[in-house]
Amino acid sequence: MRRVLVANRGEIAVRIIRAAHAAGLETVAVYSDADEHSRWVQLAGTAVHIGKSAAAKSYLNSAALVEAAETTGADAVHPGYGFLSERPGAAKEFADAGLTFVGPSVSTIETMGDKAAARDAAKRADVPIVPGSGPVGDVDEALAAAEHVGYPVLVKAAAGGGGRGIRPVASREELAEVLPAAQAEARSAFSDDTVYLERAIDGARHIEVQILGDHAGNVVHTFERDCSVQRRRQKLIEEAPAPGLAAETRASINEAAVRLARQVGYVGAGTVEFLLTPSGEFFFIEMNTRIQVEHPISEAVTGVDLVGEQLRIAAGEPVSFSQDDVRIRGAAVELRINAEDPDNGFRPTPGDLSRLDLPGGPGVRVDTGFVAGDRIGPFYDSMIAKLICSGPDRDAAFARGRQALAELRVEGVPTTVSMHRRLLDEPDLRTGAVHTKWLEELLPDST
Q: Which of 290, 312, 394, 400 is catalytic?
A: 290
Q: How far is CA 45 from the centre of its chain?
A: 27
Q: Is 290 a catalytic residue?
A: yes
Is the sign of the CA dihedral 102, 107, 113, 117 positive or negative?
A: negative
Long-range residue pairs from 416-423, CB within 8 A, at least 24 positions apart, any chain:
416/236, 416/335, 416/336, 416/337, 416/338, 416/340, 416/342, 416/346, 417/337, 418/342, 419/236, 419/342, 419/443, 419/446, 420/236, 420/237, 420/335, 420/337, 420/387, 423/229, 423/237
CA 421 vs CA 31, 391, 398, 401, 424: distances in Å: 33, 18, 11, 9, 6
Pairing of strands 234-240, 355-357: unpaired
DSSP per residue, 417-435: HHHHHHHTT-HHHHHT---
Q: How far is CA 443 from the centre of its chain?
A: 23
264, 305, 268, 326: which is closest to 100 by C-alpha?
Answer: 268
Q: Which residues are catalytic?
A: 290
